Amino acid sequence: MCGIVGYIGHQKASHLLVNGLKRMEYRGYDSAGISFLENGKINILKQKGKVENLDRLVPHDLINTTIGIAHTRWATHGFPNDVNAHPHTDNTGNISVVHNGIIENYTAIRTKLKQDGYSFFTDTDTEVLAVFIGAFYEKVNNLEEAVRMALSEVDGTYGIAVLSSYEPDKIIAARMGSPMVLGIGENEYIIASDAAAIIAHTNKVIYLDDGEMVIVTREGFITKTVLNEETKRQIEAIEFDIQQIEKSGFDHFMLKEIYEQPETVKNAFRGRLLIEKGNVKLGGLNSVIEKLRTAKRIIIIACGTSWHAALVAEYMIEQLAHIPVEVEYASEFRYRNPVIGPEDVVFAISQSGETADTLAAVKEAKQKGATVLGFVNVVGSSIARETEAGTYLHAGPEIGVASTKAFTSQLTVMALVALMLGRMRTLSQLDGKRIALEISELPEKITKVFDQLKQIKEIVDEYAHAKNFLYLGRGFNFPLALEGALKLKEISYIHAEGYPAAEMKHGPIALIDENMPVVFIATQDEIYDKVLSNIEEVKARKGKIIAIANEGDERIKLVANHVIYIPNTLPMLNPILAVVPLQLMAYFMALKLGCNVDQPRNLAKSVTVE
């Protein structure tokens, strides 16, 4: 979603700011803008569309300033057009503001400001904030005070950066529910909503807390709360390096991230698997180990692909540890007054650690007394900090909007958690060892899946004209059917549905004819034969069958039109292998149809609004 970058230092700011925006393009956006101070005046350039357009619009050679702020906008209030693009200004044009998040009481504030004679030229909540700050400035003649006063009256979420000609050598940034990071360089500072925009300059950062602001000048910075109490913040190091956010020879981030999976899955279990003991060591969960041992129920909250990982985790944990697990969309959980209490353990799964609904659900679960644990990829993210304990995924930055490597890392970490919980309860050391060994072999097996590329591309060529796809699976493979369908629709815009294979008879079967490709995830488990029967049902109606099956399965060849083989593993680990061909199929389909793989239309990488 929206991205913020700001710079104050000794370098020319305009290039640096635009390049910072480019680093955040992956988040999804529809317009971009920049504001800089030159000759004591605020200048603003902004435009609908790509950062590339903004880059062409900005006369870099003519701009000598070393201070500015910039933004990529993902429309919430008002169309994605030039006028609504950020930065926005107060009525004098002397204060410019970029903002991520949503000011919920903006209508009331705007009405009041209009009564006081202020005007509005855009549909955005951000302009209201800018005018509000300007109104306070008129009273107090102090930018920091004006920002503080405005922020203490707004409801909702914000990450903001403010630049003003009144106090020209200063940028003020603040956060509430929307990330904001201060990068500390040599006589220069970069503020950004995403560390990806900072890493090219420095890896020393301070992650602002909710309700905190930073006032940055050329001489240094101070952090304080919006209530004006000074805070002392520790400088931390960004955990990734610049190569990890570059394509490194791949055509797209998504493809790179698919191919990184042998390594990222290994990183998810590295140092955590105790193969001989048939057990797992997860340092981040030490403080809650007794809670986990006695948990009566686990509730998992997540969104999107992470929600699919949660569904697989439900099967894993119930099978190995016999603890009842419920999986909920975070967006539903947060508003339905869930019945939970101190005996429950809640897992929040999130790649970004910033998804607004998941974060709000975490807060709701904490409010009700549950122990809330985070399984998050982005180190230092809001969900990681809001949860009592947890385990990082260590997948490295995921740039492609369609989640791939984070999913397999989530599944790997969930397999570790299930194994650990199982060993605390009924699972024997021998069974634990068998599972731990299988987990350790996953990276090599994922690499083998890449050998199926030719078959995958043939399937893509044959069905690129299809308007619909159906994805079916049972047991551990049912959530995978949902994930396969999601991947395809996200990036190729082909309509796709995922279903539990047996449910097909209760509706989707009506759609099946010779034009309907049906992807079956039909790996060897206790219900393999049942899945074969479902395949026969589709075949009898002339549907085209694409099967993901285990190596050595000859029966499947007799019924399927196409087979993609993956190595054998335990049924609970199958999704970690079987999702790889589904990711590749979606990727090559999107490529063939000329879609923007890494930045699909309307989608955002990190959904920081409800």
Catalogue the active-site residues. Answer: 2, 605
- The set of residues, in sequence order, having a beta carbon less than 8 Å from that of 406 and lying 6+ positions away, is 305, 306, 351, 377, 393, 395, 398
Q: Which is nearer to ligand G6P, 275 or 603 (CB)?
A: 603
For residue 596, how many other CB atoms are within 10 A of its CB?
11
In the complex, the smallest distance separating the C-beta of residue 44 from ligand G6P, rounded to whole angstroms, is: 30
Q: What residues form DSSP beta bridges with 96?
A: 89, 163
In the complex, the smallest distance separating the C-beta of residue 604 from ligand G6P, rounded to whole angstroms, is: 6
For residue 375, how many other CB atoms are within 10 A of its CB?
29
| Contact between 185 and 8 (Cβ < 8 Å) | no
In the complex, the smallest distance separating the C-beta of residue 381 from ligand G6P, rounded to whole angstroms, is: 9
Q: Which is nearer to ligand G6P, 445 or 487 (CB)?
A: 487
Q: Which is nearer to ligand G6P, 305 or 583 (CB)?
A: 305
In the complex, the smallest distance separating the C-beta of residue 33 from ligand G6P, rounded to whole angstroms, is: 23
In the complex, the smallest distance separating the C-beta of residue 605 from ligand G6P, rounded to whole angstroms, is: 6
- The set of residues, in sequence order, having a beta carbon less than 8 Å from that of 299 and lying 6+ positions away, is 325, 326, 327, 328, 333, 338, 340, 344, 345, 346, 347, 365, 370
| Contact between 102 and 70 (Cβ < 8 Å) | no
Q: Which is nearer to ligand G6P, 213 or 372 (CB)?
A: 372
What ranges in 388-452 are assigned the alpha helix state H?
405-424, 429-440, 442-449
- The set of residues, in sequence order, having a beta carbon less than 8 Å from that of 533 and lying 6+ positions away, is none
Tokens representing 311 are 């569904």
Q: Which is nearer to ligand G6P, 382 or 534 (CB)?
A: 382
| Contact between 401 and 26 (Cβ < 8 Å) | yes
Burial group, residue 457, by CB count within 10 angstroms (0-12, 13-18, 19+): middle
Give the CA angle between residues 567, 396, 267 to the nearest 5°. Answer: 50
In the complex, the smallest distance separating the C-beta of residue 28 from ligand G6P, rounded to whole angstroms, is: 8
Q: Which is nearer to ligand G6P, 157 or 358 (CB)?
A: 358
In the complex, the smallest distance separating the C-beta of residue 487 from ligand G6P, rounded to whole angstroms, is: 9
Q: Which is nearer to ligand G6P, 122 or 606 (CB)?
A: 606
Q: What is the DSSP letter of 607?
A: -
In the complex, the smallest distance separating the C-beta of residue 358 from ligand G6P, rounded to whole angstroms, is: 5
What ranges in 27-180 are assigned the alpha helix state H?
51-57, 106-115, 125-140, 143-151
Closest by CA to 321, choosing from 421, 221, 463, is 421
Tokens representing 548 are 């993901």
Q: Which is nearer to ligand G6P, 178 or 352 (CB)?
A: 352
- The set of residues, in sequence order, having a beta carbon less than 8 Å from that of 255 and lying 6+ positions away, is 587, 597
Name the 3-class secondary structure at 313.
Answer: helix
Name the 3-class secondary structure at 373.
Answer: strand
- Amino acid residing at 516: M
Q: Which is nearer to ligand G6P, 129 or 254 (CB)?
A: 254
Closest by CA to 158, choosing from 166, 168, 150, is 150
The residue ranges that bind ligand G6P (CB under 6 A) are 303-306, 350-352, 355, 358, 401-403, 603, 605-607
Residue nearest to ligand G6P (CB): 304
In the complex, the smallest distance separating the C-beta of residue 126 from ligand G6P, rounded to whole angstroms, is: 22
Question: What is the helix (H) or strand (E) element at residue 517, kind and residue range?
Answer: strand 517-521
Q: Which is nearer to ligand G6P, 557 or 601 (CB)?
A: 601
For residue 529, how many other CB atoms are within 10 A of its CB?
9
Q: What is the DSSP letter of 442?
A: H
Q: What is the DSSP letter of 177?
A: B
In the complex, the smallest distance separating the C-beta of residue 357 from ligand G6P, rounded to whole angstroms, is: 8
CA distance linking residue 280 with residue 21, whole number of Å: 41
